[in-house]
Amino acid sequence: MEEVGFLGLGIMGKAMSMNLITHGYKVTVWNRTLSKCDELVKHGATVGETPAAVVKKCKYIIAMLSDPAAALSVVFDKDGVLEQMCSGKGYIDMSTVDADTSSKICEGITSKGGRFVEAPVSGSKKPAEDGQLVILAAGDKGLYEEALQAFDIMGKKSFYLGGVGNGAKMKLVVNMIMGSMMNAFSEGIVLADKSGLDPHTLLDVLDLGAIANPMFKMKGPAMIKDDYAPAFPLKHQQKDMRLALSLGDENAVSMPVAAASNEAFKKARSMGLGDLDFSAVHETVKAASKST
Ligand SMILES: NC(=O)C1=CN([C@@H]2O[C@H](COP(=O)(O)OP(=O)(O)OC[C@H]3O[C@@H](n4cnc5c(N)ncnc54)[C@H](OP(=O)(O)O)[C@@H]3O)[C@@H](O)[C@H]2O)C=CC1
Ligand SMILES: O=CCCC(=O)O
């Protein structure tokens, strides 16, 4: 799998494709905003003018796109993946989408004779840059095994979870927990501050106890400074909460904590914070505590 196509060069796709290039892969890239290909080209990538052009050239194609609408559009629309998909090619979608979207993409790819793996990832911008993602794969087992070498470059651990949909569902469960934790964490920082405690001391205390975790440690100091430079854009976290809640609906799982967290992320989007890091949900707690 030394020659791959890569569709979507956002925060994650750029870092992941760069890693493949620096590990010796020949990579052909495409991005909706084509100018974002320039930096990859400087490092040796070639550009495909359309998703179809990338598929024509490459046996294996990886996608890392924002949401279900983007993932579907790149496959099914004009100049899309399906136009050149055929037997012998493999399509690996690493975007975070719901199981239904993934199944539709799988049907499209396999109807043309191709093979499909979904492989959403846990881990954000820095793990993507460092090749330390956790890969949650499902679908065609043979394609998964052929992709492992590339997964090992992009990630520190790959899980094979069975049939299409299981990777998507695992990712949504993980991000549902993460989004709820971020809301509780934001409330804790504001509560500490408003009750006269030093929020930095709160971070030190948290870091030594049973709920210590890399997210609190990494995001906490920046949140206290109101620094929300995007690693994981808030609009994507809200998309994941929405999709996780829908998975909860389908399975009759009551999730009041996740539902409240989704409302906070929606509020943050309405405040114009969607392109900032998801930790900017902290601003909704600050705004609410100002009005009391
Ligand atoms: N950032 C993170 O920490 C993580 C993100 N994820 C998931 O990975 C995916 C990508 O995230 P991230 O890189 O942060 O997102 P970005 O917003 O940085 O990038 C999104 C990418 O999708 C493309 N895109 C959006 N809409 C369309 C469309 N209609 N047609 C074609 N391309 C489109 C964008 O193109 P353009 O440049 O033209 O806008 C861009 O390449 C998401 O599903 C996200 O939930 C998973 C783990 C961590
Ligand atoms: O989907 C984004 C996940 C971000 C992370 O795992 O840190």
Q: Which entry of 171, 219, 235, 239 is annotated as an active-site residue?
A: 171
What CATH number does residue 197 fall under?
A: 1.10.1040.10
Report the C-alpha gap between 50 and 273 in whole angstroms: 31
Domain stops at, among 162, 194, 221: 162
Q: What amino acid occupies position 189?
A: I
In Å, what is the CA distance from 159 to each residue of 10, 110, 141, 152, 155? 24, 22, 11, 11, 11
Q: What percent of the chain has pLDDT over 70?
A: 99
Lowest mean pLDDT among 82-96, 129-143, 219-233, 277-291: 277-291
Of the bound ligands, which one is closest to the alpha carbon of residue 174? 2
pLDDT at 238: 98
Q: How far is the CA of 109 from the centre of ligand 1 (A)?
A: 21
Q: So what's the pLDDT on residue 292?
A: 53
Same domain, residue pair 81 and 146: yes
- Going by C-alpha positions, the residue among 71, 60, 128 that lies closest to residue 95 is 71
Domain's final residue, options 124, 139, 162: 162
pLDDT band at 291, cuts 50/70/90? low
Instruction: Give the pLDDT band (50/70/90) at residue 243.
Output: very high
Number of Cβ within 10 Å of residue 218's Cβ equals 14
Q: Is the CB of 230 under 6 A from ligand 1?
A: no
Give the range of the structural domain holding residue 187, as residue numbers without chain letter.
169-290
| Cα 62 versus chain centre, distance | 13
Q: Is the ipTM of this complex over 0.95?
A: yes
**Taking the model in full, what pTM does it have?**
0.97
Residue pair 96/171 in contact (Cβ under 8 Å)? The answer is yes
Given a contact cutoff of 8 angstroms between Cβ atoms, the answer to whether 98 and 164 are in contact is: no
Cα–Cα–Cα angle for 96, 93, 112, nearest 5°? 135
Closest-approaching ligand to the CA atom of 238: 1
Say what the pLDDT of residue 3 is: 82
- Shared domain for 201 and 148, answered yes or no, is no
82: its two tokens: 């399906």
Determine if ligand 1 sits within 6 Å of the CB of residue 261: no
Q: What is the DSSP string of 93-133?
A: E-S---HHHHHHHHHHHHHTT-EEEE--EE--HHHHHHT-E
Quick one: 99 and 185 in the same domain? no
Predicted pLDDT of residue 24: 96
Are the beta carbons of 153 and 39 closer than 8 angstroms?
no
Residue with tokens 């060069």: 9
pLDDT at 1: 62
Residue 86 sits in a domain whose CATH number is: 3.40.50.720
Asked if pLDDT for residue 138 goes beyond 80, the answer is yes
Are 148 and 239 part of one and the same domain? no
pLDDT class of 2 with cuts at 50, 70, 90: confident
Pocket test for ligand 2, best of 175, 181, 237, 281 (most atoms within 8 A of CB): 175
> For residue 101, is pLDDT > 90?
yes
Is residue 95 within 8 Å of residue 28, measured between CB atoms?
no
Beta strands 121-122; 115-118: pairing state: unpaired
Residues 54 and 155 in one domain: yes
Helical axes 166-194 vs 99-111, angle rounded to 10° = 150
- Residues 21 and 75 both lie in one domain: yes
Strand-pairing partners, residue 91, are 61, 116
Share of the chain above pLDDT 90, in %: 98
